[in-house]
Amino acid sequence: MTPGNFEQFLPRLSSCGVNYILIGGGAAIAHGLARATYDVDIVYDRRRENLESLVKAMGELNPYYRGAPPGLPFRFDVRTLELGLNFTLTCDWGDIDLLGEVAGDGSYRTLIGHVDTIELYGHHVAVVTLPKLIALKRAAGRPKDFETLAELETLEEERNR
Amino acid sequence: MPPFDPVIEAYKVDVDRSLLRENLKLTPQQRFDKFAGVMRNLMNLRTAGQRARDRRSERPSSNGTSGTSSEPES
């Protein structure tokens, strides 16, 4: 298990022109949470042009289904992305979740109205806002998120003090 | 404000606010740099722990068996 590799993934996605929104642990860190995370979570735009950019950005990194047995006929191309929605992948740079949609009405088109544009690693990165991140976590309703939710809500209280 | 949830409120009691306040003083990039440093240290610790466990299991015990052998002693 390796730490979330934001340092490499974010500049690569941005420089390849991928439309994406940073969510999950990465967004939490951007807003000020001190928490370990082992993957990069992004919601990506499902339009074909963007899928092509995503393939350009990720194709050379040998992406493969995380936890799947080796040898599956997985091809990271536009057709695969069109046929699927959410991809939990491991690749040469570590783990990344490419999410077409998340619980709580979280597609790229709906979430893009709830982002902060933040300068990271020399690029402007769309990061889901803290209130929306809290709403997404609540919508997911996973017990494993309770502690994180408490921290995120406390963070919001501290920011608004 | 998010709706009140008694479960989340219970978890909030244990949140270290001083840590959050310190982080809020940093820029987002500085927060990521801090994360990378902390994770690097964690990984180093994990590697060191694994090496120590490996060494222990390789070291012969006083009766000549491996340190982690589950063989019953005669």
Percentage of chain A beyond pLDDT 70 is 99
pLDDT of residue A36: 86
Say if CB A123 and CB A15 are below 8 A apart.
Answer: yes
**Given a cut of 70, is residue A101 above it in pLDDT?**
yes
Is the domain defined by A6-150 classed in CATH 3.30.300.30?
no
For residue A115, pLDDT over 50 is answered with: yes
- Contact list, A134 vs chain B (CB under 8 Å): 2
How much is the average pLDDT of A33-39? 88
Question: Is pLDDT of A122 > 60?
Answer: yes
Q: How many CB atoms lie within 10 A of CB A128?
A: 29
Q: Are A30 and A127 in contact (CB under 8 A)?
A: yes
B5: helix, coil or strand? coil
- How many other C-beta atoms are found inside a 10 Å radius of the C-beta of residue B33? 14
Q: How confident is the model at residue A119 (pLDDT cuts 50, 70, 90)?
A: very high
Higher pLDDT, A143 or B33: B33
**Tally of residues, chain A:** 161
What are the chain B neighbours of A36 within 8 Å (beta carbons)?
A: 38-39, 42
Cβ-defined contact of B28 to A134 (cutoff 8 Å) = no
Mutation to test the B interface, candidates A153, A159, A160, most B Cβ within 10 Å: A153
Output the six-digit token pair for A150: 């408490």
By CB atoms closer than 10 A (0-12, 13-18, 19+), residue A141 is exposed
**CB contacts, 8 Å: A137 with chain B:** none
Q: What is the pLDDT of residue B66?
A: 53
* A56: pLDDT strictly greater than 80: yes
Nearest to B39 among A32, A36, A131 (CB): A36
Q: How far apart are the first and last CA of chain B?
A: 67
Higher pLDDT, A144 or B52: B52
Cα A125 to Cα A84: distance, rounded to the nearest angstrom? 25
Positive or negative, the Cα torsion across A27, A28, A29, A31?
positive
Domain ranges of chain A: 6-150
**Token pair in block for residue A52:** 């092509």
**Which pLDDT value is given to residue B63?**
64
Q: What is the pLDDT along chain B (74 residues), one digit of tens a residue?
A: 677 888 888 989 989 999 999 999 999 999 999 999 988 898 899 999 999 999 988 877 666 555 554 444 44
Q: How far is A95 from A3, CA to CA, in rounded Å?
A: 8
Measure Cα distances from A141 to A76, A81, A153, B14 in Å: 30, 26, 15, 20
Quote the pLDDT of residue A3.
Answer: 78
Predicted confidence at residue A46, as pLDDT, reads 97
Subunit contact A3:B43, Cβ cutoff 8 A: yes
Q: What tens digit of pLDDT does each residue of A17-31 get?
A: 999 999 999 999 999
Query: pTM above the 0.80 mark?
Result: yes
Write out B14-53 in H/E/C secondary structure.
CCCHHHHHHHHCCCHHHHHHHHHHHHHHHHHHHHHHHHHH
CA triple A48-A51-A54, angle to 5 deg = 160
Residue A59 · residue A18 · CB < 8 Å: no
Helix B17-24 to helix A146-159 angle (10° resolution) is: 60
What SS3 class is residue B61?
Answer: coil
